[in-house]
Amino acid sequence: MFSLFFINNVKPKLLPDDIDRKTFLTLSKNDYFCQQNRIFRMKRFKIHKEGRLLLLALVFLLFVFNVIIYLYTSNTWFAINLIVTALLLIFFAYFFRNPARELEVSNPNFVIAPADGTIVVVEPTVEDEYFHDERIQVSIFMSVFNVHANWYPIGGKIVKAFHQDGRHIGAWLPKSSKENERSTVVIETKDGTQILVRQIAGALARRVVMYAKEGKEAHNNEQMGFIKFGSRVDIFLPKETEVFVNIGEKTTGNSTVIARLNT
């Protein structure tokens, strides 16, 4: 048996289904790969719905401020203010970008990265808020320059979804997973395997938006929420899961395969 591997829509290459971890990691750096999969990625710039109202308000406020500067100050100050205004608008538009990413996955055991960012944790740990047993934790830290939309990492039924208030310490700190404001979503696959995804607010992030509803279905290509201004996402997987990422590696939400459930 063989799988098709696509990179930027070039001619597909045949790969054996049972590829080793080193080969899998090499392919994952391109964010276009599959094993019994076909993954297609598309990019298109648009503003996320969580940022549209904020951007409209910002445009209005900056317009009023620029009119005042124009009427009551020199041309030099007006020019400086225009530059600052442009930079602010570019930053917020970039932060709230919502790239269109589509994938097709024929192997339901693949776990897809729920967020853009950097892997900061890959380790066995005890998840004591829901499972109360040992799991493999994979954590992705998102800086203010990463896309902050979050996707479901796997398809299945949402059996638990809840929000918890908390602190806003640095999201890169291990204790942020238990002390910070956070939202927790538990997804059960068709074969009964459960994984937990936790959105965590950071020092700058002051709002976690969760779209998941208990009893609903989670699907690939569907967003599960949004975190504003720097944050982290934790994924808790069964102990026997095969993980394909290491600390320090970059991920692309709804594109990078981070693990495979062994069920």
Interval 24-69: pLDDT, tens: 544 444 444 443 343 444 445 688 788 788 889 989 999 999 999 9
Q: Which of 125, 147, 111, 149 is nearest to 245 (CA)?
A: 111
Higher pLDDT, 96 or 111: 111
The Cα–Cα gap between 145 and 147 comes to: 7
How large is the average pLDDT for residues 120-136?
94
Please give the DSSP secondary-structure letter assigned to residue 158: E
Higher pLDDT, 234 or 144: 234
Q: Does domain 109-260 have CATH number 2.70.98.30?
A: no
Which residue numbers are catalytic?
A: 231
How large is the average pLDDT for residues 106-123?
92
Higher pLDDT, 262 or 29: 262
Higher pLDDT, 55 or 260: 260
Answer whether 218's CB lies under 8 Å from 154's CB: yes
* Proportion of the chain above pLDDT 70, given as a percent: 75
Answer whether 129's CB lies under 8 Å from 163's CB: no
pLDDT of residue 32: 40
Token pair for 107? 């192997």
Collect all residues with Cβ–Cβ distance below 8 Å to 38 and sequence separation of at least 6: 4, 6, 104, 106
Q: How far is CA 55 from each of CA 91, 97, 227, rounded to the nearest angstrom?
A: 11, 11, 16
**How do the domains of the chain map onto residue ranges?**
49-95, 109-260
* Proportion of the chain above pLDDT 90, given as a percent: 45
pLDDT of residue 144: 83
pLDDT of residue 220: 87
Which residue in this structure is represented by tokens 């720097």? 230
Q: Give tens-digit pLDDT for 179-224.
A: 678 899 999 999 999 999 999 886 665 578 899 999 999 998 999 9
pLDDT of residue 93: 85
pLDDT of residue 132: 92
pLDDT of residue 99: 85
How large is the average pLDDT for residues 93-114?
85
pLDDT of residue 34: 40
Q: Give tens-digit pLDDT for 67-92.
A: 999 899 888 999 999 999 999 998 88
Q: Which of 209, 55, 73, 200 is nearest to 142 (CA)?
A: 200
Confidence of residue 103 (pLDDT cuts 50, 70, 90): confident
Confidence of residue 170 (pLDDT cuts 50, 70, 90): low
